[in-house]
A = this chain, B = another copy of it.
């Protein structure tokens, strides 16, 4: 019981801190995305594609969450985008407190889009709010279409689902209509975008989804008034 009560307090403090951080981002018109998935679903590959498409037009910052190492951060930096690495040292998710030092380093007045790549885990990250406006969950076709039924919290906490590794669809047992039905049961009407970060298929739809939200936050840039410095 002590464990459960402590967990409730931890989650409430985390929610409160994330809300404050989000408010600061709102003041500067910064769009925040919390990108989640199981291990190896293609989050970093999607960020690479995002950096290619939006890096020349917007000021983009990535925060990489990993238990250890900086493999993904190196890939993102190679795409010419700013990146801060957070190592959770064993923890299975990012939380608002872990993000605080990174956010203190970032000049929000000089930013349009913040993409936070969470630790690869289809369970725990869903419980911890981050300074993000949208939770985006990536599910890859080799993982199987039963995942929303088995990991319901992640899907019900999401604002967008990306079905990645579409190039492998013919080779794997993945029932796309059944996945869509399961996702819609957890989050009725949610948008589902199908991509292959490898071939580029469908990526423009994800980019359009982001740009629509970037324009809504920074109307000036929508008219091309504020090019990237």
- Residues on A lying within 8 angstroms of B by beta carbon are 2-3, 6, 10, 38-40, 66-69, 71, 90, 92, 119-124, 140, 142-144, 146-147, 149-153, 165, 167-168, 171-173, 198
A40–B151 alpha-carbon span in the complex (Å): 11
Q: Is the pair A120, B119 in contact by a Cβ cutoff of 8 Å?
A: no
Report whether A120 and B40 are in contact in the complex, using a CB–CB cutoff of 8 Å: no
Most chain B CB inside 10 Å of its own CB: which residue of A40, A142, A168: A40
CA distance A40 to B163 in the complex (A): 14
The one of B123, B152, B168 that contacts A92, using a Cβ cutoff of 8 Å: B123
Whether A67 contacts B120 in the complex (CB less than 8 A), given A39-B38, A143-B40, A171-B168, comes out as: no
Q: Which B residues lie within 8 Å of A2 (CB)?
A: 6
Q: Would A71 and B146 count as touching, CB distance under 8 A?
A: yes
Chain B residues within an 8 Å CB radius of A39: 38, 122, 143, 147, 150-151
Asked whether B124 lies within 8 Å of A92 as measured between CB atoms, the reply is yes
**CB-nearest residue of chain B relative to A167?**
B171
Please name all residues of chain B whose beta carbon is closer than 8 Å to the beta carbon of A167 when the two chains form the complex. Answer: 171
Cβ-defined partner of A69 (8 Å) among B140, B150, B172, B198: B150
Which chain B residues border A124 with CB–CB below 8 Å? 92, 121, 123-124
Interchain CB contact (< 8 A) of A140 among B3, B123, B142, B149: B142
